[in-house]
Structure 1
Amino acid sequence: MDTDRSADGHPDERVAEQTVLVVDDDEDLADTCRYWLGGERFTVETAYGGQEALDRIDDSIDVVLLDRRMPSVSGDDVLEEIRSRGIDCRVAMMTAVEPDTDIVEMPFDTYLVKPVSESDVKETVEELLFRAGFDSEIREYFALESTEQALESREIEELREPEALDELRSRLDAVRTEHEAAIQYRERQLDRLNRVNGLIRDIDRALIDARTREEIEQTVCDAVADAHEAAFVLRRTAAGGLRCTAQSGFRCDPSDVDYSFVDDEFDTNDPDQVCVFDDISTEHRAAVFNGQSADHEDVAALCVPIRYQETIYGALTVYDESSEFDDESVALFSDLGATVGNGINAAESKRLLNGDSVVELEFRLGVDSDVLAALSADVGCDFSLDGVAQVDDGITCFVTASGVPGSNVVEAAVTYDRISSVRVVTDGTDESVLEVRLDGDSLLMSAVDHGASIEALELTNGSGSLALHVAADADHGAIVEAVTGTAPNVSVVAKREVEQSAQSTESFRTELDGKLTDRQKSVLETSLVSGYFEWPRGSTAEEVAEALGISPPTLHEHLRAAERKLIETYFEELNAAPADD
């Protein structure tokens, strides 16, 4: 049976409102935990004390990381109040207090002894969010098990009431005997959850070193195949078919494998689709596993899009036992597809930036081609794009408007649904600079999503031209198709290779040295080596200032000036016009 998981319960939507609260009077530790968890699939908040936690906690909180030893209102008091209010959240005690038998009757879900690592915090939150879906009796079992594990870290003679540990073990045995089948099922799920989460973190680390799309795809396949049976990546060809670009775990020549079952059921143009193929033919299993299909009768396949926002780079397909692909696995592999897509997009952007030559694609735009073109026609002015910045799911454009006051552009822009905000940055007599935030589909967003750099956009009364720079070995046809397919009245008029201007490291350093004062250089270097730019910070601003013998306000003044000069020099070099031959 083929199961399409792209409908209402898409994993990203399912977990979108989960919230984790970190409670600790050590603000640095609380902020560090928030930083560690910030890239995960949930919202993270902090409370710097017990009373602040009680003021915040309500039914919207899913997991609490709770310190025990806090002044005024202790963690034990907070835990008791949470349960007395009937708030059904999972609680992890995260404390330097060594566990003793007094914790046996405390209604927490797990117990962590400080110091804790990033992996400790992440794995705990992930597991507790998953445990939230268990029946209350099964949640009780895992909570009791966590308590037992915490107490087992102590020597038995050091415990206040050693017999309490024996009573706890008796309760554990009784609950397990009563719910053996359900507990075993949940243990298998938790084991699978931890393996997949570990796989995702391994891939995150591996992507840091991968430099090309091909390296990323092969790295992912190798990592997935180590944890499962096999994996491959498919890309859509210009002719509309699919081709395998990376694979691992196959016991055959991948060219002998028929991938039509994916082509028939999986829409590689849908960024939200996830498919589970539970009924893989004997012929296909024989091809993948080199005739050993009998050993893999229960093998199923999970197929997820490799995506960056709305851009689809291909499909990742994973083979494993059919029972492996429950809803949680689907959600995690869907996240993995997004992680890989982000890595590919970053690699494509770096390649464009570092290449000696790029391809320039020039497009002609008509009045209905984009919201900026429509706005230019509406107001009756000229637009010139000064720069763009991608923000969340939208794009911020800095536009010079000529021929009309900036207030006229703002007045017209607020009537457009796809313009979420607009403001005048500078208002001159003949021209104004405006900041325009575009949300949703747009021609510029489509170009950026496909790895293009926007070189120029010029519009006069709604018509004009757009120039994009793309890597020389990028899929130019796919980019042209994406841009021209965004809206009517968009056509490509030229494709040309251009040389990127290059500046040597030495000349860049010389130029920057000429701008920075000796004090600014000293402040930058001291801040760097002292760990001020790290997170969590190795040194505070006060500590860096003391090392330099200056006041904190003076430090910040020099830092801001030095950072501005560094950034200005970088973008002056980056945006420098190519030298004339």
Structure 2
Amino acid sequence: MKREITLRENERELEQQRDSLAALNNLHEVARDITDAAIEQSTREEIERTVCEHLAASESYEFAWICEVDPSTGSVMPRAEAGAEGYLKEISLSIDLDSPAGRGPTGKAIRTHETQVANAFEDADFEPWREYAEQYGYQSAAAIPIVHDGTLYGVMGVYADRPKAFDDQEASVIGQVGEVVGHAIAAGERKQALMSDELVELKFQIRDVFAALDISAETDGTITLEHTVPVDDGEFLVYGTATQNAIDTVARATETIPHWQDLTIRSEGDPTSFEIRMTDPPVLSVVASLGGSVEQAVIEDGDYQMTIHLSPSVDVRRVTDAVEAAYPDVEMLRRRQISRDHDDSKHFQRHLVETLTDRQQTALETAYHAGFFEWPRDASGEDVAESIGVAPPTFHQHLRKAERKVIDAVFSSPIQSVG
């Protein structure tokens, strides 16, 4: 009898291993399909719907959904779903750790930004949803955070009819699907922000910003942060100027503010031009991830004013929350919707940027703002290559390709004669 029990247990274990291997092989194929499909979609809604449909239609999973969190209420709201209908109407979810509805895989994924898995009939934290999971035939669940550049866009829930699904390998692969979705959503929002004719403008003021940041520095003079170039995930080059009585303050700030890494003086004078390397700046990272831009950032006699432009489709609260977290005493001076300048040159510029790869745009923008095209040059090719973290030949290769696209765009159409 004991031998028969052992044999049955071994058979069940082998069956689970076969199921897991088959699911993993299927998931690799589904992940490739999702990557291709997500890139082709133009809106966040299309991306989320496509991902859920691919997962639910696979051989490995029964149901998939994507949710987001309302930061004002803490409630979890579905955005897309595919598979069995009705399950989401039966359950309640929360991000509150003190609530049983917030202790399951979805709540944990929201709080930790890490993939969470659960066995519907064994994990105590899954008890609030066990009855409905049994009703719909779900035995395992995974909650995958949709994150890009530190921004949580939501959580992807996936359900299987297999017991103990989502082993380490399967959880790792499906976690990568979440990364793909996050990247696709971020790219879509950036493109939408670039092409949108309407913009939301936010203007903030932080009085005595150096005291707010606990920096001992002179408050006289003017510091202007003029241009920002993203060079890597979470890493930016910021170009600006400072009057002679403020450049020492820039140096002091670079030594004090954790995400201000390196200061390079590009040209001395009044004003002095500089470059600052920033890593994971709390406000700039959020704005960039949403496809927005910091249009103006000026510190004058210690008071800091910052103007941000965003697409109307963006959740503005994510930006205001980031600003308030970085500067608790911030004051919002203005929030308004504006129309983008319809100047033909601006339209041409936006169209041209679309033709460049990220690396080409980074090389070209950094070279321009660093003074590579000035005569005499403020920065050599080696300087620019070091700034963006590539070898000089690689920089020149990206720059040459970008220059060719710019020249093609200018001269590909016949030039109308004048006179």
Deviation of the 1:471 alpha carbon:
1.2
Q: 1:282 to 1:380 in 2, by over 3 A?
A: closer
- Within the candidate set 197, 202, 213, 1:356 is matched to 197
Q: 1:461 to 1:374 in 2, by over 3 A?
A: farther
Match of 2:358 in 1: none
Partners of 1:323 and 1:207 lie apart in 2 by 28
Q: 1:386 to 1:250 in 2, by over 3 A?
A: same
Deviation of the 1:416 alpha carbon:
4.4
2:175 is equivalent to residue 334 of structure 1: yes
Matches within 5 A, 1:82-481: 188-227=19-58, 228-237=61-70, 238-252=72-86, 254-259=88-93, 263-265=102-104, 266-267=107-108, 269-270=110-111, 272-279=113-120, 284=129, 293=134, 296=137, 299-320=139-160, 321-368=162-209, 377=217, 380-390=220-230, 391-404=232-245, 409-410=250-251, 413-414=254-255, 416-427=257-268, 429-481=269-321
Question: For each residue in 1:101-126, what CA deviation from the matched residue of structure 2 results, as whole angstroms up to 9, or x when unmatched?
Answer: xxxxxxxxxxxxxxxxxxxxxxxxxx
One-letter amino acid of the structure 1 residue matched with residue 42 of structure 2: R
Q: 1:185 to 1:276 in 2, by over 3 A?
A: closer
Deviation of the 1:495 alpha carbon:
0.4
Match of 1:13 in 2: none
Question: For each residue in 1:147-201, what CA deviation from the matched residue of structure 2 results, as whole angstroms up to 9, or x when unmatched?
Answer: xxxxxxxxxxxxxxxxxxxxxxxxxxxxxxxx99988766544433222222221
One-letter amino acid of the structure 2 residue matched with residue 498 of structure 1: I
Deviation of the 1:496 alpha carbon:
0.8
One-letter amino acid of the structure 1 residue matched with residue 279 of structure 2: D
Question: For each residue in 1:421-476, what CA deviation from the matched residue of structure 2 results, as whole angstroms up to 9, or x when unmatched?
Answer: 2211222x211221111124433223323443211111124322111111113222
Deviation of the 1:230 alpha carbon:
0.2
Deviation of the 1:256 alpha carbon:
4.2
Which SS does the other structure have where 2:176 is aligned? helix
Match of 1:496 in 2: 336
One-letter amino acid of the structure 2 residue matched with residue 324 of structure 1: A
What is the TM-score normalised by the length of structure 1?
Answer: 0.51
Matches within 5 A, 1:64-79: none
One-letter amino acid of the structure 2 residue matched with residue 235 of structure 1: E
Match of 2:326 in 1: 486
Partners of 1:480 and 1:413 lie apart in 2 by 24
One-letter amino acid of the structure 1 residue matched with residue 315 of structure 2: D
Partners of 1:489 and 1:453 lie apart in 2 by 22
Q: 1:185 to 1:258 in 2, by over 3 A?
A: closer
Deviation of the 1:304 alpha carbon:
1.5
Which SS does the other structure have where 1:352 is aligned? helix
What is the TM-score normalised by the length of structure 2?
Answer: 0.69
Structure with higher RCO (Cα < 8 A, 6+ apart): 2
Partners of 2:40 and 2:222 lie apart in 1 by 44
Partners of 1:221 and 1:335 lie apart in 2 by 15
Partners of 1:411 and 1:284 lie apart in 2 by 54
Partners of 1:236 and 1:507 lie apart in 2 by 35
Q: 1:367 to 1:331 in 2, by over 3 A?
A: farther
Deviation of the 1:262 alpha carbon:
5.8
Which range is displaced more, 358-367 or 404-413?
404-413
Of all paired residues, the percent bearing the same amino acid is 23
Match of 1:54 in 2: none
Q: 1:312 to 1:226 in 2, by over 3 A?
A: same
Deviation of the 1:301 alpha carbon:
1.1
One-letter amino acid of the structure 2 residue matched with residue 322 of structure 1: P
Partners of 1:417 and 1:345 lie apart in 2 by 26
Q: Which is greater in Rg? A: 1
Partners of 1:249 and 1:258 lie apart in 2 by 18
Gaps of 5+ in 1: 1-178, 513-554, 570-581
Q: Do 1:370 and 1:442's aligned partners in 2 also have CA atoms closer than 8 Å? A: no
Match of 2:364 in 1: none
CA RMSD of aligned residues (A): 3.8
Deviation of the 1:342 alpha carbon:
1.2
Q: 1:416 to 1:504 in 2, by over 3 A?
A: closer
